[in-house]
Every structure is written in C-alpha cells, then in structure tokens.
Amino acid sequence: MIDRFQDIQAWLEDQPHLLRLGRLFSETVLIEVEGEEIYLTFEKGRIVSVEAGPSRKTPWRFALRTDAEALEQFWQARPAPGFHDIFGLAKIGRGRIDGDILCLVKNLRFFKEVMALARHTEEGVA
Amino acid sequence: MSIEPITGRYLTIEIGGTPRRIYFEEAGQGRAVLCLHTAGADTRQWRHLMNDAEVTADHRLIAFDMPWHGKSLPPEGFETQEYLLTTEAYIETVLAVVAGLGLERPILAGCSMGGRIALQLAALHPEQFSGFIAIEASDFQAAWYDIDWFHRPDAHGGEMGAALVSANISPYAPNAERWNTLWMFMQSGPGVFRGDLSFYTRDDSLIGRLGQIDTGKTPVHLLVGAYDLTCTPEDAKRTAAAIPGATVSVMDELGHFPMSEHPQGFRPFFLDALARMPRVAVQAA
C-alpha cells in the first residue's frame, strides 16, 4: 500500500493547482490501512516524506483509517456510492477520520484531491 | 452567441413585518412550478431546466433566491444579526412569494432544505399548491459535522462548505457542472450556509406531520440520488413510507444537487415527476 502513496507523492509534484491550494498546509497525516500505518508529511503543500509505521513517536494532525479494498474502490474512476469520498467511507462504515477534524476541514478540498490522485480516469491513472 | 430565455426580476415582500427584496427568475409558460434551491446556494441551480425547451413548453418555471442568498439581500440591520433560518420564516417566505407573484396553486419543487420545506408545506398549507416534488428530501437529518465550521473568522466558510458538499456529488456528474455547483457554495455569504444548516439539522418538526399529508389532494413524489450522503435513498424511502400515498424514485447516478450537478441525468426524473402532478391547476390558473 505504501507504494500507492509514494505514487501520489510524485504525482502531486505535477499538480500546480494543488500545490497552490496546499501552500499553507504543513502537517503530518496518518493513513492506516488494516493496521498498516503510513505517515504522510506535508510541507507547504508538498509531500516531503512517506514513512511506514508503526510509530508511537510520530505526531499526526488527523488520521484516515480504512481498509485496502475500500481504498481500491475509492480509487476507481466512478466509485460506487459511499466509496466516492473519504466522508462517504466513514458514512458506510468503511473508514474513520480522527484527530483535528477542523484542520482537515480547513484543507478539505486540498486533501481530498490529493487522496484522489490515484483515481483511475478514462485516460488511465489520474 | 446565445441569449437564454430566462428572465430575472425583483419582488418586494414582507417577511416578519419587514420588507425583503427577492430576486426571482422564470422561463416558460403554462403550469406554474415554483422551484426552491438548496442550502448555501441560489436560483442558478435550476437554470438548466429553465433553459430546457421541452420542460418550459408547457410549464412556467419560477425560482427565487431566499433572503441572504444569491441576489436577494439580507434584511436591513443584518450586520448585527445572526442568520438562522427557521421553519416558520421559511414557510412565510415561500407563501409570500406565491402570493406576491399571484401564483395559483403552483407545483412546488424543492431540493434538500427546499424539499424539506416542500414537505412541511404539504402538511401545513396544501391548499396553496397542486403537488409537491421533494428532491433529496427527508424527515430529518442530524448533522454529522459541526455547522459552526462554516462561519469563523480564520477560514473561508464558502470554500470549506463547497469541499464538504462535494461529498454529495456523483462521480457521473460532468466536471464543469460539478464545479459550477460548488461555485455557488463558495460564493455564499458569511454564515448563510451555517444558518441554513441550522434549520436543516436541528428542526425535526416535520417527523410528526408527515402522516397528515393528504396525497389524494396533493400528490407527493420524492426523488433521491444514490450518491447523496446527506439524504440517502434510505432516508428518502423512510420519509416516503411515512406519507400515505407518496411515491419515490431513486436516481442511481445522481447526488444531492441533481438539477445542477447533472442536468441531463436528472431531466427524465423531473419530467416523470411533473407527469405525476395533477393538471387541474393549469385550468384554474
């Protein structure tokens, strides 16, 4: 799973509008997929590190916890209802968002679009 | 170059004893359909249907911006007021617009909070309307978010609101219309989305009134998108089940803003809903 987030890290560099949207976002986000911890450290909109856990020493601002199959569905071009959004995953019981939710909401468009960078499009991968 | 058939004008009505300048748009002729926008948005959500010649050939579509929304100004003194929409003020506004425009028993079509108030009017003032199309409407939705997120001095409520409601837009929606839909939320005045959500997420008075809706006199048809996380198909079906005689259609490829996010996908469902509404009002008008 960590390689998907390394891909996202690379693809983000080619998205100037996201780098602009995220220019004030410098936080660490925990992605937990069936117990596998992945720490994404953002610096002014860039992902400067993708680190595998487990870690008890890495502070994070908010966390998205889900399962691998749900994430794969989320990354489809046209996900089924509920799998189409991170809050949808929470709504259908396939995800949980913890931590500083207000920080997430203030940067919601940016974070959701970063997460969706691995979404398949008709032309291939976004 | 093209000029659309939609025309916009202003109407002044009294709400709560004070004058309000209301912006409304209309297109078409025939059976009147009064259209209500969602929370945090405005009349532009209805523009695709208003530009649809097949719809307007025999329907007069009218949509208005609620006070504080779009081109309808907030009341005088708003700068010291906290905007919190109530069921009573919402009902008073819709009825004042109906009277102000001289509409005789229009069909009422409302989406989200507009659908909620349509069902309230179906219960409390059915004689004013010929039928109700309640889109993405349910008996009650408690907030899973904090409505105060959307009105604070250190962040842009419109941008946050748009990012949140994007969760309710279907992946089948054309990208341009997805973003046109979100733009309205981004433009919403400070505290307006929050004030709308206060009505939508805190007032559960409709629950006890659903059973008194007489669909024999005024039919009620609910439309709900499968991608709507706010009012899910289950929420709409539960609501319809509590209204004797109400019907409901699930729109598999649509979300919470169907007329705005995916007009072509919504069109057949809206035409079907109109076909379910009685024609008596046309002859009376």
Per-position pLDDT tens, chain B of length 285: 899 999 999 999 999 999 999 999 999 999 999 999 999 999 999 999 999 999 999 999 999 999 999 999 999 999 999 999 999 999 999 999 999 999 999 999 999 999 999 999 999 999 999 999 999 999 998 888 899 999 999 999 999 999 999 999 999 999 999 999 999 999 999 999 999 999 999 999 999 999 999 999 999 999 999 999 999 999 999 999 999 999 999 999 999 999 999 999 999 999 999 999 998 644 444
Q: Is A96 an 8 Å CB contact of chain B?
A: no
Binding-face residues of B in 187-226 toward A, CB within 8 A:
226
Q: Which two tokens stand for residue A60?
A: 């994070």
CA pair distance B115, B266, nearest whole angstrom: 16
Inter-chain contact A84–B171, Cβ cutoff 8 Å?
Answer: yes
Binding-face residues of A in 59-78 toward B, CB within 8 A:
77-78
Amino acid residing at B112: S
Q: Is B167 an 8 Å CB contact of chain A?
A: yes
| Minimum distance, in Å, between the CA of residue B58 and any CA atom of chain A | 35
| Minimum distance, in Å, between the CA of residue B29 and any CA atom of chain A | 37
Nearest CA in chain A to B225: A81
The sign one gets for the Cα dihedral B262, B263, B267, B273 is positive
Instruction: Tell me what ipTM this predicted complex has.
Output: 0.94
Q: What is the mean pLDDT of residues A16-39?
A: 97
Nearest CA in chain A to B229: A88
DSSP alpha helix (H) spans, B25-147: 47-50, 53-56, 87-100, 113-124
Nearest CA in chain A to B157: A106
CB pairs under 8 A between A and B: 40
Inter-chain contact B166–A79, Cβ cutoff 8 Å?
Answer: no
| Minimum distance, in Å, between the CA of residue A117 and any CA atom of chain B | 14
The per-residue pLDDT for B57 is 97
Inter-chain contact A88–B167, Cβ cutoff 8 Å?
Answer: yes
Contact list, A91 vs chain B (CB under 8 Å):
144, 229
Q: Which 3 state secondary structure label does DSSP give A40?
A: strand
Inter-chain contact A84–B227, Cβ cutoff 8 Å?
Answer: yes
Choose among A81, A82, A109: nearest Cβ to B159. Answer: A109
CA pair distance A13, A19, nearest whole angstrom: 7
Choose among B149, B167, B172: nearest Cβ to A102. Answer: B149
Q: Is the peptide bond before A54 cis (omega within 30 degrees of 0)?
A: yes
